[in-house]
Amino acid sequence: MSYRSKERVLAALAHEQPDRVPINYLANPGIDQRLKNFYKLSSGNDEDLFSLLNVDFREVAPVYRGRKLHPDVPEKGIKVDDWGIHRRWVEHPSGGYWEYCEFPLQDADEDEVANWPMPSPDDYDYSVIAGECRAKQPYAVFLGGPGQADVINKAGMLRGTEQALIDLITEDPAGLLFNQRRTDIQLEILRRTLEAAEGGIDLLWIGDDLGTQIAPMISLELYRKLIRPIHQKFVDLASSFGIPVLFHSCGSSSWAFEDFIEMGISAVDTLQPEAAEMAPRSLKQRFGGRLAFHGCISTAGPVAMGTRVETIDYCREILEIMMPGGGYLFSPTHKLQDNSPTENVIAMYETALRYGSY
């Protein structure tokens, strides 16, 4: 039986075995452009690249139409987004990143946080969402991403990671207010988008980086007290629209997976094999049938550091571990990095298509 992309993804999330594993694509600008050059595509031609790589997912999002809330700092090369996050371009040998810098709320008190300009849900254009969903209807249409519902990450971008963690441990009123204000706004934007979609959205993607490479970022007790209630609101929103939730977390995060199951989360994303307690075989044995898995193809392993043959062998091994019984969606753990050889990335997607059939 042949599946459409939408049916394929929803079957995998329901722990069924479709015709093949669903495939997703995430990439930094450098490797993305090299792939487009290889396939002789223009820089903005995402759709043809997705088709060539057999990607089953498509994204929709409302467009911000409001005024710019925070000025850039051009004399320092700093761009500032509408939440006030400061970023500066930093080169590395294979490309570059917009790195976070100058954390403007690091020493802010409760009044300063309360008055910090943040986007209003009224300033987004939801009118195009239904049309976009209809245009992408054959695919699994998702809303959100790893930056939705995240508490530790976004607080760290404006208050600094150290202060963001201190806020949680000490229950600092300014830090807790920041977390509540921002996630309430995100929740309302997502709610309005889901309403505007008229049933055309298949999946809500949220996240928070809960682990380092060697251990949890915070205790389970702290997660349950201060962060889980926020995440639960987003899960409940998705549930009210009858769609599953994919939860992104970097690092060692399996310590929270039992809670995710209780909360109603359907699938987990990233699944860095190098991190503690994140071995693919162990995850499949412990949580297979209760959580679906999206990711597991390391962006720090053979795809980036190995040969084409090593990439193929590695991807085949992950498929052999994660495919049985359904519940696996093939994807890089993070965005493919610019140090990944083009031929390895092509081999990765060819392997998914060749060896991912049931």
CATH label of the domain that carries residue 99 = 3.20.20.210
Residue-level pLDDT at 99: 95
Q: Which residues of the chain have pLDDT under 70?
A: none
Distance CA 102, CA 100 (A): 7
Provide the percentage of residues in the chain whose pLDDT is more than 90. Answer: 98
Q: What is the pLDDT of residue 158?
A: 98
pTM of full prediction above 0.85: yes
Check residue 25 and give its pLDDT: 98
Query: Given this model, what pLDDT does residue 94 score?
Result: 87
Evaluate whether 22 touches 56 at the Cβ level (below 8 Å). yes
Range of the domain at 190: 5-355
pLDDT score for 296: 98
Q: What is the pLDDT of residue 89?
A: 95
Burial class (CB in 10 A: 0-12, 13-18, 19+), 75: exposed
Number of domains in the chain: 1
* Bridge partners, 270 (sequence order): 249, 295
Q: What is the pLDDT of residues 50-75, one digit of tens each?
A: 999 999 999 999 999 999 999 999 99
What lies within 8 Å, CB to CB, of 353 at 6+ separation is 20, 23, 54
pLDDT digits (tens, 9 = 90+) for 10-60: 999 999 999 999 999 999 999 999 999 999 999 999 999 999 999 999 999
